[in-house]
Amino acid sequence: MMKFTTAAVVAFTLTLSSTATAKDIVVVLSPYQEQAEANRQAKTVLQELTQLEPGDKGILIDGYHLKTIGIFAIPEKKAYASPKARLRVNGSVVGALMSFAKQATPYSEDSAPSVSGAVRLPQVLRHIAENYGSDQKLDVIILGSPFYDDPNEPKFSMADGVFPSDAHLLSSRANTPFGTTDQPELLSNVQVHLCYGDEAIMRSDRHHFFVHRFWTLFTEQQAGKLVSFTADCAAMFHRVKNKAKAPKHNYILDSAVPFAMIRLEHEGSKNTIYKRHVTTSPLPKEQIRHAQQIELGLSWDSCPTCDLDLYAQSSPGAAVISFRNNNTPEGIHRKDYRTSPRSIRAYETIVFNKPLDLRTLKIAVNFYKGDASNNVSGELRLSVDGRTYATQFTLRAKSGNKGRGMSEAFKTGQAPNAHIVIIDPLRMVGTK
């Protein structure tokens, strides 16, 4: 699932205010994401759109259904200098965007694509170029998945580690949605910035390489530039602000490869931690000091609208991994759910990429935000060397604490308040 911070969108504001002349910028959104996240994203975007320069326009587009949500225009009159005045004059656009967010559909539903944040990238870029292209450079910001997935064209899906061969790029749109030979100048003056929000969607660095390579060549075959391709939205908006150029590369089209969809085999387990069998057999003691393939999963359902967070530290002095610090030398935090993920059969997860000593592993759960009529309970799972263990926990607090006390918890190994619970991994694996 995807998270776009206020800091990231602030950079979006700076992007638009850095030029002396009015300009357009296009922001592409996905209708296929968790509704709570869609609502937050819409509100943040609206907040920042009020900071545009007079004469500027922010064009908002549904990247899957190829529909313009609205055009947020900043009047040049001084009477519209305040954010409130700008929201009022764009009232219809505000309503349209909030309605779009309200109708967001979880990707797990049968009628929706199988990837979170789905956009139909080839089609939406063509839609933008044909309707909003001009002689001036146009920045197109895509907030969505790089994996093409349309239930009406399942054989071209990029879900599950699949990507198109170069032969698709050398073909017509009559044969493939990735064809570029029909309009080789389509994306002239278009600069594409794609943020997919979570590096964990990539199966490996190799997977990232092949997907980035494909979309780079796809854009360039139509005279455009893929300037940004990242999970770090703040970095992407920074690149837009600073008018960054497309990075150099040595990607070369291979005209000899056959027309095919190529599957990159998963390098790890195909079963998510949610689907794995939970064992009650103690972990062999010889595996305690050199535990491998460590994965943590957090889920809760007693308070569906509450926001719980998972924290872990592999050893004293190592970085604490959480949604605040989601990529460290020891591992990554893959997903921050702000409401209960149980309904979509998911877990907020932390994956360690190095063996570790379970005796030094610290795990904590924090009640970050929300209001609970009773205590908040949930489940933590710990996977070690292919074995998965589970434990139940209860947080005896009625509301969130915004993370206060987490530093103290990891320094002392004790929960400083009722919003935090410390979970002992040795007890979970039955060796204590």
The structure tokens 């933590």 sit at 380
Positions of CATH 2.60.40 in the chain: 285-428
> Check: CATH 3.30.310 for 285-428?
no
- Could you tell me the CA-to-CA distances from 390 to 54, 274, 278, 313, 344 in Å, in that order? 56, 10, 7, 19, 19
Do 99 and 67 contact (CB within 8 A), yes or no?
no
Report d(CA 405, CA 384) in Å as an integer. Answer: 28
Q: Write phi, then psi, for 69 (nearest 5 degrees).
A: -75, -40
Report the chain's mean pLDDT, rounded to a whole number: 86
More reliable by pLDDT, 112 or 317: 317
* pTM, rounded to two decimals: 0.59
pLDDT surpassing 80 at residue 168: yes
The confidence band for 374, taking pLDDT boundaries of 50, 70 and 90, is confident
pLDDT surpassing 60 at residue 109: no
The confidence band for 218, taking pLDDT boundaries of 50, 70 and 90, is very high
Rounded to a whole number of angstroms, the distance between the first and last alpha carbons of the chain is 36
What percent of the chain clears pLDDT 90, i.e. is strictly above it? Answer: 51
pLDDT surpassing 90 at residue 338: no
Partners of 262 in beta bridges: 163
Residue 234 in tokens? 């703040």
- Give the chain's count of helices (H) and strands (E): 9, 16
Sort strands 24-29 and 57-62 into parallel, antiparallel or unpaired.
parallel
Q: What are the pLDDT digits (tens) for 121-155? A: 999 999 999 999 888 899 999 999 999 999 888 88
Mean local confidence (pLDDT), 421-429: 95
Positions of CATH 3.40.50 in the chain: 6-263
Q: What are the pLDDT digits (tens) for 308-323? A: 999 999 999 899 999 8
Report d(CA 115, CA 202) in Å as an integer. Answer: 12
The confidence band for 375, taking pLDDT boundaries of 50, 70 and 90, is confident
The structure tokens 């592993």 sit at 361
Do 384 and 359 contact (CB within 8 A), yes or no?
no
pLDDT surpassing 80 at residue 81: yes
What percent of the chain clears pLDDT 70, i.e. is strictly above it? Answer: 91
Instruction: State which fold the 6-263 domain adopts.
Output: Rossmann fold (3.40.50)
Residue 231 in tokens? 């999970």
